[in-house]
Amino acid sequence: MRVSRRPFLGLIAAASLSGCARIATSLTQNQRVHALLETPERLNLAILGAGQPLAREYAEADISPTFRHNGFDPPASEEYQRWLKDDWRGFALRIDGMVDQPASFDMPSLRNKFIRRSQITRHDCVEGWSVIGKWSGVLLADLLAVARLKPLAQFVVFHCMDDDGTGTLYYESLDIRQAIHPQTLLAYDLNDRPVPAQNGAPLRLKVPTQLGYKSAKHVRRIEVVASLGGSFGRGGYWEDQGYEWYAGI
Ligand SMILES: Nc1nc2c(c(=O)[nH]1)N[C@H]1C(S)=C(S)[C@@H](COP(=O)(O)O)O[C@H]1N2
Ligand SMILES: [Mo]
């Protein structure tokens, strides 16, 4: 099967890895891109991402006048408050675990070195409300392509900075297939403005194909792992309280 599909693999890989191509070129590491395009594992990643059903996208006119917020309060730590006031100077997103290239990215590099992707999608909370917003940011697949998943990587865990008031931090997880879905976005803008603190500044996941609780706010670290369980409980804060890990809509 894989062999007979090969003629168009390259095209799809080239399209979905273009964000990576841009950052790699800016680092004058063309070799890395070529390696990505030529490695069967990377091509399979692109194919998995490209073949999935898409969430509906809306028009600008459909955007809700106010995007409500829900969940824990934004992080109260001095560090977070300082970053918020200081335009995120000193803040960096960490990506590590089962990747070949663990890395940290500050906000300017996420904004400037990766292709900006936008989507107008609906957010559905299990509590029974929905809002439509325009999200812009980095496609998670582009970030994972730069970090380069190791062969046994199976899940991506999102570590957040906010807690439930008792010190238990919010976290979430996706499997690799969901993580590289072409609409799974690490968003830095909401409706063309930096994501407000209440909606998850400076970076929040937007997974429009799944219920709201999968869209982790205030993401600080992305950890790629081989399995959930153990210290990852059932794969998310709400999952640990009994919600389903799979929240597809
Ligand atoms: N870090 C973090 N992410 C979170 C939550 C939270 O409390 N903390 N709440 C979740 C839930 S249940 C919903 S509905 C959405 C709410 O996103 P919003 O505040 O931007 O509307 O964020 C999700 N992600
Ligand atoms: Mo929610």
Domain boundaries, given as residue ranges, for the chain: 6-49, 60-241
Region of poorest pLDDT, from 2-6, 48-52, 132-136: 2-6
Average pLDDT over every residue of 224-240: 92
pLDDT in tens, 105-130: 999 999 999 999 999 999 999 999 99
Q: Kindly state if the Cβ of 133 falls inside 6 Å of ligand 1.
A: no
Kindly report which listed range (28-37, 40-49, 127-136) carries the lowest average pLDDT score: 28-37
Residue 27 in this model has a pLDDT that exceeds 80: no
Residue 6 has pLDDT above 90, yes or no: no
The answer on pLDDT for 9 being more than 50 is: no
- 60-241 classified as CATH 3.90.420.10: yes
- Percent of the chain at pLDDT above 70? 81
What are 206-220's pLDDT values in tens digits?
A: 999 999 999 999 999
Q: Is the CB of 162 under 6 A from ligand 1?
A: yes
Q: How far apart are CA 176 and CA 225, in angstroms?
A: 10
Report the nearest-CA residue for atom 2 of ligand 1: 217
Average pLDDT score over residue span 35-51: 58
Residue 40's pLDDT is 53
The residue nearest atom 19 of ligand 1, judged by CA position, is 69
Whole-number pLDDT of residue 233: 86
Query: So what's the pLDDT on residue 24?
Result: 37
The pLDDT of residue 230 is 83
pLDDT at 182: 94
Residue 164 confidence (pLDDT): 97
68 lines ligand 1 (CB under 6 A): yes
Segment 44-96, tens digit of pLDDT: 555 667 788 999 999 999 999 999 999 999 999 999 999 999 999 999 999 99
Q: Measured in angstroms, how far is the CA atom of residue 42 from the centroid of ligand 1?
A: 31
C-alpha of residue 66 to centroid of ligand 2, in Å: 16
Cβ–ligand 1 distance for 212 under 6 Å, the answer yes
**DSSP characters over the chain:** -HHHHHHHHHHHHHHHTHHHHHHHHHTT-HHHHHHHHH-HHHHHHHHHHHTSPPPP---GGGS-SS----SSPPP--HHHHHHHHTTTTT-EEEEEESBSS-EEEEHHHHHHHS--EEEEEEEE-TTS-EEEEEEEEEEHHHHHHHH-B-TT--EEEEEEEEE-SSSPEEEEEEEHHHHT-TT-EEEEEETTEEPPGGGTTT-EEE-TTB-GGGS-SSEEEEEEES--SGGGTTSSTTGGGT--S--B-
